[in-house]
Structure 1
Amino acid sequence: MFISNAYAQSLGGGGAESSLMTFLPLLLMFAVLYFIMIRPQMKRQKEVRNMLAAMTKGDEVITNGGVVGKVSKVGEAYVGVEIADGVEITVQKTAVTTILPKGTIKSL
């Protein structure tokens, strides 16, 4: 009487096309996410890996903690950094954030 009957609507002939259109925004979001966030991060990681592999004795570096010094020993996982005359500390290679140009540190 007061309530009308509800009938299900059938799918019109474009089943494959409509399923593609429902996933298209999701695929576009993943593509944008890859090019905006994931790809630049992978590029930065590759640059850091190459920088640490190319580090040699005599390079001037800055560590995560802000310590500035000259590399005196290079090992597989650790680096000896001379921070003053005769004062050397050992840090992990991954703690080195920047390799400075030669001649930046004048006091050592």
Structure 2
Amino acid sequence: MDFLISPAFAEAAASQSGSPGLLDFAFPIILLVLFYVMLIRPQQKRAKAHRTMQQALAKGDEVVTDGGLMGKINDINDNAINLQISDTVEVKVRRESINSVLPKGTLKKL
């Protein structure tokens, strides 16, 4: 079996067995901290802001849904919102499907 691994390399590897250094433990911890700071925390802030926006919806707000419908809120229930998208058309959408609130008067400008 000496043709696969030379005995000199095998002996050198066996003699270098020492205790792991501090850097071996610090590297994964640093990666986890960076992962949290760069990805998880900003996503949590965005989700919290979106939940706050959805809870603050009121009658008369102009909104955009996830599907791209733009309209004015006519009625709000616990789970559903009646959204007026034109003078004669009113649709019912889930409260969670509201993507953003538009500034007042935006629908008239379009």
Unaligned runs of 5+ in 1: none
Give distance in 1, aligned partners of 2:60 and 2:29: 49
Greater helix percent: which structure? Answer: 2
Aligned to 2:11: 6
User: Any runs of at least 4 consecutive aligned residues in structure 1 with deviations exceeding 4 A, and if so which?
Assistant: 2-5
What TM-score does the superposition give when structure 2 sets the normalisation length? 0.81
Aligned pairs for 1:10-29 (under 5 A) are 10-11=17-18, 15=19, 18=21, 20-29=22-31
2:101 equivalent among 99, 102, 105:
99
Give me the CA root mean square deviation: 2.1
2:87 equivalent among 85, 88, 98:
85
2:72 equivalent among 70, 73, 79:
70
Question: SS of 1:106's equivalent?
Answer: helix
Give distance in 1, aligned partners of 2:31 and 2:80: 41
Shift of 1:62: 0.5
Q: Kindly tell me the number of residue pairs found equivalent between the two proteins.
A: 101
What TM-score does the superposition give when structure 1 sets the normalisation length? 0.83
Unaligned runs of 5+ in 2: 1-5
Aligned to 1:50: 52
